[in-house]
Amino acid sequence: MKQGFEKYIPFVPLKRPRRSWPDKELKQAPVWCSVDLRDGNQALVDPMNVEEKLEFFHTLVDIGVKEIEVGFPSASEVEYDFCRTLIEGGHIPDDVTIQVLVQARPHLITRTFEAIEGAKHVIFHFYNSTSTLQRKVVFHTDVQGVKQIAVDAAELIYDMAQPVIASGMDLRYEYSPESFMGTEMDAAAEICAAVLDALHADAAKPVILNLPTTVENCMPNYFADEIEYFIEKLPGRERAILSLHPHNDRGEGVATAEMGLLAGADRVEATLFGNGERTGNVDMVTLALNLYTQGVDPRLDFSQINRIRDVYERCTKMKIGPRQPYVGELVFTAFSGSHQDAINKGTQYMRQSGSPFWEIPYLPIDPADVGREYEPIVRINSQSGKGGAAFVMQQNFGYDLPKSMQPEFGRIVQAETERAGTELPPQRIFELFRENYIAATAPYQLLRHSFAETVEENGASHVRFTGTLRHTDTVFDVTGEGNGPIDAFFNAIHGQKMDRFTFVDYKEHAVQSGSDSMAVAYIQLRDETGRDIFGVGMDHNINLAPLRGILSAINRAWQTRHRG
């Protein structure tokens, strides 16, 4: 590739002494128009059949798209038939407008009018190419030549539309100067103004001027300059609804749309997940959810994004990449330990603070808002830190491990990921927790016990513990007294082989286990060498859970010592 770049002609940006769009903010959703069934469809290896198009159409309606380009009816029988099926089958809700595309050519325009007969709301969309390059290498004409094509078509469409409108159809017009991005802006404004005149556009009946980046060949800031300049030059801006139709050749379609809206556009033509010619059209889902995560109502419903993805993949036979914004399989997954930690802290912060705002690092959107679950957010692999496993225990199973215990459990999980050589699903993490802590019931086991509690006049409590323990085959009785059940139990086992531990800390909470609620107690002991050891006990009885936790810790220490 060393010298290849020299053959490319760089885009020449407009000279703008002042621009105002960079200081603007997006505060409301644009008018959305889906071009999935036309631009998206024409770019498929296997274009959709009528049934697939119908399913797709209904999905778009469910999402809340009110303007839907349904095809290019004069291009083929399938396209024509689909348009007729929609109209004759009563598939179009009253608040939805269908849009049909046609080239600026008389016989195709006539056929398109036949295709829309009987529809209630229609956008009649015509186009011709206006760019410098297309004029030079395809049409061998000048600006006046392409302007004439557009005006002739506009006049014909206007004339043919009058009886149709008189018969009751709500028919609007849309014109696209195809390859607008590569057209001189003065020429684009001149052509569009002539089209507006030919269509008798006014503020009460504005015409949609759709300004495509048919091939995206400049940076989005240059495009925004073009839009701002075009608006300045267009006589009677109020006669037009300015629409964008970004493609994605440079991978900047979303930025182009967003900056184009800042520069003054009102409407965006887009497709779900960015399907479309070559690198695709701009992705409606990303655009809408970008607005949503800035606190702006996109007026589209992506609350069941997986369902929409399934329809899309089935109908188009295209696959959505695992990192596609907002929908990809991996977009709510954090592999890095520090990310997991931060997510964990953010979740805790939200719970404790009761914040009405979404304030979780690394998750720009609440997965639940798009119908995704927390469950797959964190997967544990050998790169995950201590916080990751604790997060899964908390999020998936409701166990709130004390901070001091997290490194130890993190190491257990880490060792397992290294052994397995793969990431661990949440269920496996829970098993490790159970196997290592709750199931540490040997060699010491509590067989029977009773507590006697006395509460003094001054409120001081005194507990006497009596119990029978088993150590492998030996059964023995112990008694002890203390100011609470844990203290009494600890004193009871004093003098046994278990007394080389001191009690450091404990934490207890309720956890749902099936339809039951159980107490779970996390115990931290320290041995004579200063090493901390943790145990976990569970029981329906909140006094018993910590005792099981103490024995779990002692048993784990014993197992480490005897089994290494």
Q: Which three-class secondary structure state does DSSP give residue 153?
A: helix
554 - beta bridge partners? Answer: none
Closest CB to ligand KIV among 243 and 491? 243
Of the pair 30, 410, the CB lying nearest ligand KIV is at 30
Distances from the Cα of 69 to the Cα of 120, 206, 269, 311, 494, angstroms:
14, 18, 9, 18, 81
Q: Does 39 bind Zn ion (CB under 5 A)?
A: yes
Q: In Å, what is the CA distance from 459 to each residue of 91, 453, 456, 486?
A: 75, 12, 5, 18
Which contiguous run of DSSP H or E holds residue 191? helix 185-198
Q: Name 511's bridge partners.
A: 518
Q: What is the DSSP letter of 502?
A: E
The nearer residue to ligand KIV, 208 or 547, going by C-beta atoms, is 208
- Total chain residues near Zn ion (CB under 5 A): 1
Q: What are phi and psi of 477, to 5 degrees?
A: -100, 145
Q: What tokens does 564 get?
A: 């290494």
127 binds, among Zn ion, ligand KIV, none (CB under 5 to 8 A by kind): ligand KIV
Distance CA 153, CA 402 (A): 73
Q: Burial level of 93, CB count in 10 A (0-12/13-18/19+)? A: exposed
Least Cα distance to 82 among 105, 110, 101 occurs for 101
Residues 228, 16 contacting (CB under 8 angstroms): yes
Q: Which of 36, 52, 67, 178 binds ligand KIV (CB under 6 A)?
A: 178
The item of ligand KIV, Zn ion, none sharing an interface with residue 178, based on CB under 5 to 8 Å by kind, is ligand KIV
Of 189, 180, 96, 89, nearest to 131 (Cα)?
A: 180
Residue 339 binds which entry of Zn ion, ligand KIV, none, with Cβ cut-offs from 5 to 8 Å by kind? none
Instruction: Check: CB of residue 388 under 8 Å from CB of residue 340.
Output: yes
Complex with ligand KIV: residue 123 or 378, whichever CB lies closer: 123
39 binding ligand KIV? (CB under 6 A): yes
Residue 154 or 488 with smaller CB distance to ligand KIV = 154
Under rule CB under 5 A, residue 79 binds Zn ion: no
214 near ligand KIV, rule: CB under 6 A: yes
Residue 212 touches ligand KIV, criterion: CB under 6 A: yes
Q: What is the dihedral of CA 418, 420, 425, 427, to 10 degrees?
A: -110
Q: Under rule CB under 6 A, how many of the chain's residues touch ligand KIV?
A: 10
Is 69 one of the binding residues for Zn ion (CB under 5 A)? Answer: no
Query: Closest CB to Zn ion among 125 and 172?
Result: 125
What is the dihedral sign for C-alpha 216, 222, 227, 231? negative
Site membership for ligand KIV, residue 176 (CB under 6 A): yes
Minimum Å distance from CB 405 to ligand KIV? 58
Does position 127 bind ligand KIV by CB under 6 A?
yes
Please state the closest distance from residue 39 (CB atom) to Zn ion, in A: 4
Q: Which is nearer to ligand KIV, 136 or 540 (CB)?
A: 136
391 makes contact, choosing from ligand KIV, Zn ion, none, with CB < 5 to 8 Å by partner type, with none
Taking residues 430 to 469 in sequence order and writing x for each that binds ligand KIV by CB under 6 A, - otherwise, the string is ----------------------------------------
Q: 214 or 275: whose CB is closer to ligand KIV?
A: 214
Nearest to 340 by CA among 367, 393, 373, 378: 378
The DSSP bridge partners found for residue 534 are 524
Segment contacting ligand KIV (CB under 6 A): 210-218, 423-431, 479-487, 518-526? 210-218
Torsions phi, psi for 522 (to 5 deg): -105, 125
Give, as ranges, the residues between 242 and 261 that touch Zn ion (CB under 5 A). none
- Which residues would be at the binding site for ligand KIV (CB under 6 A)? 39, 101, 127, 176, 178, 210, 212, 214, 245, 247
- Which residues would be at the binding site for Zn ion (CB under 5 A)? 39
